[in-house]
Amino acid sequence: MTVTLETRLGWRAIADVADGQTLSLAPDVWERIDNASRIVARIVETGQRAYGINTGVGALSDTVVDRESQSKLSRNIVLSHACGVGPLLAPREVRAIIAAQIANFSQGYSGVRREIVAHLLMFLEKDCVPDVPSKGSAGYLTHNAHTALVLIGEGTARVAGQTMTGRQALDTIGLSPLVLGAKEGLSLVNGTACATGLSCVALARAEGLLDWADAIAALTLEAAGGQMAAFDETVLALKVSPGVAHVGASLRQRLQGSGLIAAALGKRTQDALSLRAIPHAHGAARDVFDNSARVVDQELASVTDNPAVHGTPDHPVVSSEAHAVSPALGQAADSLAIALAQIGAMSERRMDRLVNPLVSGLPPFLASDAGSQSGFMIAQYTAAALANDNRRLAAPASLDGGLTSALQEDFLAHPTAAANKLLAVLDNAEYILAIELMAAAQAHDLLAPSASQAVGTEAIYRLVRSRIGHYADDRPLGGDIEAVRSLIRDITPPQP
């Protein structure tokens, strides 16, 4: 399928392209790109002083670059900025960054030629994925530079999963290396495409994870004999929050008709907070998600590179600004990371209540033969370790310091670091919830003779059992964790 950019793209469209859809531009978008390119050409022709077009960049912004050297400046910017290190980003993440960069260029304020955009579109169509190291960006720059390397025939890329040089990759998909013009090197490394693209991928993953968190919590709540009075619609309406209302409705619907819940009615005056506060924690995360999604869409609708070129070719205007800094984007990613870390922490506490014989009423650690078997004892250790890791990762990147470019860049908002950190929190949260889901399914195995499950939770239980069997210390538990984590990542939980 193809996503068509007519005016602007939202985060869902970027996520769709990241997952393999192609991207096309409407005629009006191409005209905006061409107009900005003509403005840059006019500036070059007249010699009007403009940052990054005929001056150096960063602390070298007052150094004038003659016309003959402007193409060399663009190439040199790409080469010098391509200094990322560490493991490569996943293809899905690189595709999202490319799509977000095209969206930025489509605004018509960057000044790159249409050939630049056409090459990037071909990368998406032919599944040419530049090798982009995940570390090294204080704000943006390095990640985008590694994609730009391939445009000029440098660097390395994967085409249909095969690694090759940038020049070989271009040849494989029927393209030639580009010779960059004035400003194009700066435009290719500039802007918030990296942080925005990564945030779009994170939003897509987080949306699915929040649905799974509600479904898994319902399965655990049923196994623990939860008291549903706390989730009454009228009671929850006292807490004003769309997220709380949504989660409460989900729990009530999924647990409707549960024999286990009916049998536990009145068993306790009130449940522990890891059970009773599910709508509040999960609902808060949903409210944060909605705000973060709004910020990312706002970013995609914005011009984010510096400088912005506008006006007309006859009356060109170049505006130096700071749109690439994007504190809002860093704060949005940080906020969602905190919310998801809390979801993971609560999941680990619920899982502990299932395996802990002091409170569960079930065999110790859900083992079929406690003593000769350890059951889920050490799986809880893993969940606790991951929850602690998320607690550290939840420290806000947007408050990190850092002075770069000889004091010219003396404030950094770190949106890319925040987005990378959010993706790491998601990794951990998926594993934690997978462990809770495995423990809840095991608990239901043990409870099966006593009372019936709800239809909504039985669907979740059967899906888990289609991937892994009952655990009896008969195989490495890590393989089961990976299988259930893949389930959470790959599919949507069945509706009740």
Say if CB 456 and CB 421 are below 8 A apart.
Answer: no
pLDDT per position as a tens digit, 277-296 = 999 999 999 999 999 999 99
Boundaries of every domain in the chain: 2-190, 199-490
Q: Work out the average pLDDT over 452-457.
A: 96
pLDDT per position as a tens digit, 252-264 = 999 999 999 999 9
pLDDT per position as a tens digit, 362-408 = 999 999 888 889 999 999 999 999 999 999 999 998 888 776 666 66
Q: What confidence score (pLDDT) does residue 455 get?
A: 97
Burial 391-420 (b: 16+ CB within 10 A, else e): bebbebbbeeeeeeeeeebeebbbbbbbbb
Q: Which residues contact 416 (CB under 8 A, 6 or more apart)?
A: 137, 139, 140, 143, 194, 195, 198
pLDDT per position as a tens digit, 320-339 = 888 888 999 999 999 999 99
Q: What confidence score (pLDDT) does residue 408 get?
A: 64
Mean pLDDT of the chain: 93
Nearest Cα neighbor of 254 from 283, 216, 299, 227 is: 216
> Domain 199-490: which topology?
Fumarase C; Chain A, domain 2 (1.20.200)
pLDDT per position as a tens digit, 62-96 = 666 666 667 888 899 899 999 999 999 999 999 99
Q: Is the pLDDT of residue 349 over 90?
A: yes
Query: Does domain 2-190 correspond to CATH entry 1.10.275.10?
Result: yes
- The DSSP-derived string for 343-404 is HHHHHHHHHHHHH-HHHHSSSGGG-TTBTTB-TTHHHHHHHHHHHHHHHHHTS-GGG----B
Are 2-190 and 199-490 equal in CATH topology?
no
pLDDT per position as a tens digit, 395-438 = 998 888 776 666 666 667 789 999 999 999 999 999 999 999 99
Q: What confidence score (pLDDT) does residue 400 get?
A: 81
Q: What confidence score (pLDDT) does residue 496 get?
A: 78
Gap between the Cα atoms of 427 and 431, Å rounded:
7
At 119, the pLDDT band (50, 70, 90 cuts) reads: very high
At 462, the pLDDT band (50, 70, 90 cuts) reads: very high
pTM of the model: 0.95
- Cβ neighbour number for residue 267 with a 10 Å cutoff: 12
The catalytic site residues sit at 51
pLDDT per position as a tens digit, 175-191 = 999 999 888 999 999 99
Q: Work out the average pLDDT over 12-26.
A: 97
